[in-house]
Chain A
Amino acid sequence: MTERADPYAPSGAWRTLESGAAGLLALLWVLPLAYAVWAAFHPAEFTTRFALLAPLTLENFERAWAAAPFARYFLNTFILVTLILACQLVLCTLAAYAFARYDFIGSNVAFALVLAQLMIMPDVLIVENYRTMSRIGIIDTIPAIALPYVASAFGIFLLRQTFKTVPKELDDAARVEGATPLQVLLKVYVPLAKPIYVAYGLVSVSYHWNNFLWPLIVTNSVEARPLTVGLQVFSSGDQGIDWAVICAATLMTSAPLLLGFLLFQRQFVQSFMRAGIR
C-alpha cells in the first residue's frame, strides 16, 4: 500500500507548533517518572537537589532489596500472573467456542450472565468474595487471589468475536476429515486467533501484575503477597520517609513491565488496540 498524502497533515510553522505542544505534554507526562528515576539513582542528599554532576549510585536499590523480601514477592507475582493467564486462556477458549459455534438452548441467557461480569466486577465484590475464600479455607494463598478473575467475561467476549470471523468452511472441512470438536478448536480456531491471544495475554498480565486491592485484602503473609502489596507494606512500614529507597523499590516493582513495554512498544500498543476494538 502506498502512503497517500494527508491534506490535513500539519506543515511548516503549524507542524512545529503542534510538535512543540505535543512534546510539552509528553514531557509533563514523564515528569513524575523521571523524578522517581532521579531520586532512585542518586544518594539521598541529592533526592531533592538537582545538580548535574551528582554521583550515580545503586545503593538505594541494594538497601530496598535488603529491607524486604522482594525476591519472594517477585516469585509470587510471577506465579500469580502465570496461573491466572493459563487458566483464563483455557476457560475462555472453551466458553468462547461454545458461544461462537454452538447453537444451543439457553445460549442467550448464558451470554447475558457472562456479560454481567463486565459491570459487576470482582473488584467491587470484595466483602462477599472474602467470605467465600475463608469458607473454602484458602485465605492468604495465591489461588485465592486468582480465582475471582479466572472466568473473564472480557476474555470470553473477545475470543467469541474472533472465533466468529473464522470461515465456517474451514470448520466443516476439518470435521469431514474426521476431527472431533476439540481437535477442530485446537487445530483451526486457536491458531487463527493467535494475535488476539497475544493481545489478551498482555492486557491480562499487566492488569494482574498491577492489581492491588483484592490481593491486599486476601493476603497477610510474605508467602502469598504479590509485589504491589509488598511494596505498600514496605513503603508504609518503618522506612519512615526515605524517598530515595522508596523510589528505588517502586521502580524495581514496575521494572519488568516497563522494560517489556519499552522493548516491545509497538506490540504493546497494538495489543491494547486489538483488545479494545472488536
Chain B
Amino acid sequence: MNNRLTATIHGWLLLLPAMALLALFTHWPAVATFIDSFYSTPRPRRPARFIGLDNYATIAADPVFWRSLWNNLIFAAGTIPVSIALAILMAVWVNDRIVGRTAIRMAYFTPTVLPMIAVANIWLFFYTPQYGLLEQLTGALGFSSHNWLGSQDTALAAVTVVAIWKEAGFFMIFYLAALQSISPSLAEAAALEGASRWTFFRRVQFPLLMPTTLFVLVNAVINAFRMVDHIIVMTRGGPDNATTLLLYYIYQVGFNFWDTTYAASLTTVLLALLALAAFIQYGVLERRIHYR
C-alpha cells in the first residue's frame, strides 16, 4: 500500500497547478454564481443582503429574459441542424475525388480560422442597406430594398446565417476524418451487393458517423449558447431585443447595467440549461449510438 501512497502524493503534486487554477476560475466561480444569485446587488449606500428567490422571481417576470431564451432556442434550432447537415455534405463531397478538392476544402474551412469579430464586420458590410452586396444582388434581381439587420423579422435569421457559415467548415473536418477512417472494403462489399451510392451513404457511412455526430452535436449546442461576438458587432441585441441571446443579455445586465447578482441568477439559468443539454446528450443519445 506504500506504493499507492507514493503514487497519490506524486499524482496530486503533478495535478496541483492545473487544479488550483481550475478551482479558482471554474469551480469557485460556478459555486459563487449560484450563491450570489440569492443576494441583492450591492450599491454604494446599500450593501448586498439575502433576498432568497427574488432574483428568480424577477427573471420569471422579465420579458427580455423570455425573449432572449426564445431567441436562443431559435438560434440553436437554426444553427445546429443546418450546420451539421452542411458539414456532412461538405465532407462527403471533399472526400470524393472531385475536381479542385483541395481548393474547395480550403474555402469551406477558411471561416474557422477567421476571428468571429472580423467575420461579423464583413457580414455587417454585406448586409448594409442600399449598398451592401446583398442589397446589390437583390436590387439587380428587382426585389425591393430591405434592411436585413434592422428589421424585427429578419435580424435573427441574418445572424443565424453568419453562425452557420462560421461553423459548418469546422464540423466538416471531423466528418472528413471519420469518413477517411471507414475501411474501403466496406465500399467494395456494398458495391458487390449492388447497393446504390445513396443506400451506401444511408446504411453504411451515416451510421458509422454517429459517434462523430454526437461529438459535433455537443460542440454545436455549446456554441449555440456561447457565440455572442457577432451580436455585439452586428446588432447589439436589437432591433428591440430581436437578436438578444442569453449570454448577450448576461453581458448587458452584468457590464452595462452592473446588476451583478441578477446577472449571476441569469448565469445560473444558463448553466442549468447547459447541464440539461449535456444530460440529454450523454444520458439518452449515447445509448442509442453504437460504437465500432
A interface residues (Cβ-Cβ under 8 A, vs B): 4, 6-10, 15-16, 18-19, 21-23, 25-27, 29-33, 35-36, 39, 47-48, 90-92, 94-95, 97-99, 102-107, 110, 113-114, 116-117, 119-132, 147-148, 150-151, 153, 156, 181, 206, 209-210, 212-213, 216-217, 227-228, 231-232, 235-236, 241, 243, 246-247, 250-251, 253-254, 257-258, 260-262, 265, 268-269, 272-273, 276-277
**Residues of A contacting B84 in the complex (Cβ-Cβ under 8 angstroms):** none
Can you name 10 A-B residue pairings with CB atoms under 8 Å? A18-B96, A26-B104, A32-B133, A33-B114, A33-B122, A125-B26, A126-B251, A130-B254, A132-B29, A277-B177
Q: Which residues 177-194 in B have Cβ within 8 Å of A in the complex?
A: 177-178, 181, 184, 187-188, 190-191
Quick check: is B53 within 8 A (CB to CB) of the other chain?
Answer: no
Q: B250 contacts which of A106, A127, A210, A212 (Cβ < 8 Å)?
A: A127
Q: How far does the alpha carbon of A103 sit from the alpha carbon of B3 in the complex, in Å?
A: 10
**Smallest Cβ-Cβ distance to B233: which chain A residue:** A232
**Smallest Cβ-Cβ distance to A246: which chain B residue:** B121
Quick check: is B60 within 8 A (CB to CB) of the other chain?
Answer: no
CB of B36 within 8 A of CB of A22, answer no
**Residues of B contacting A105 in the complex (Cβ-Cβ under 8 angstroms):** 4, 8
Q: How far apart are B260's CB and chain A's nearest CB, in angstroms?
A: 6
Q: How far apart are A116's CB and chain B's nearest CB, in angstroms?
A: 7
Q: How far apart are B157's CB and chain A's nearest CB, in angstroms?
A: 16
Quick check: is B263 within 8 A (CB to CB) of the other chain?
Answer: yes
CB of A276 within 8 A of CB of B118, answer no
Quick check: is B267 within 8 A (CB to CB) of the other chain?
Answer: yes
Q: How far does the alpha carbon of A120 sit from the alpha carbon of B29 in the complex, in Å?
A: 10
CB of B274 within 8 A of CB of A124, answer yes
Q: A26 contacts which of B8, B108, B126, B173 (Cβ < 8 Å)?
A: B108
CB of B8 within 8 A of CB of A32, answer no
**Residue from A8, A10, A94, A261 whose CB has the most chain B CB atoms within 10 Å:** A8
**Residue from B15, B33, B109, B271 whose CB has the most chain A CB atoms within 10 Å:** B15
* 7 smallest beta-carbon distances between A and B, as pairs: A104-B11, A7-B191, A128-B29, A26-B107, A102-B11, A210-B115, A98-B14
Q: B215 contacts which of A16, A95, A276 (Cβ < 8 Å)?
A: A276
Of B16-24, B66-74, B147-155, the one contacting chain A is B16-24
Given contacts A148-B26, A254-B114, 6 further A-B contacts (CB under 8 A): A6-B97, A29-B107, A35-B126, A116-B26, A127-B33, A128-B267
**Residues of A contacting B212 in the complex (Cβ-Cβ under 8 angstroms):** 277
B interface residues (Cβ-Cβ under 8 A, vs A): 4, 7-8, 10-12, 14-15, 17-22, 24-30, 32-33, 36, 90, 93-94, 96-119, 121-123, 125-126, 128, 131-133, 136, 165, 169-170, 173-174, 176-178, 181, 184, 187-188, 190-191, 197, 200, 212, 215, 222, 225-226, 228-229, 232-233, 247, 250-251, 254-255, 260, 263-264, 267, 270-271, 274-275, 278
CB of B274 within 8 A of CB of A119, answer yes
CB of B21 within 8 A of CB of A150, answer yes
Q: How far apart are A175's CB and chain B's nearest CB, in angstroms?
A: 13
Q: A32 contacts which of B165, B170, B250, B278 (Cβ < 8 Å)?
A: B165
Q: B98 contacts which of A19, A27, A265 (Cβ < 8 Å)?
A: A19
- Given A95-B18, A102-B14, A128-B264, A231-B121 contact (CB < 8 Å): yes
Q: How far does the alpha carbon of A131 sit from the alpha carbon of B229 in the complex, in Å?
A: 21
Majority SS at the chain A contact face: helix
- Given A7-B187, A247-B125, A257-B113, A129-B21 contact (CB < 8 Å): no
**Residues of A contacting B132 in the complex (Cβ-Cβ under 8 angstroms):** 48
CB of A250 within 8 A of CB of B22, answer no
**Residues of A contacting B177 in the complex (Cβ-Cβ under 8 angstroms):** 273, 276-277
CB of B90 within 8 A of CB of A110, answer no
**Smallest Cβ-Cβ distance to A252: which chain B residue:** B118
Q: How far apart are A26's CB and chain B's nearest CB, in angstroms?
A: 4
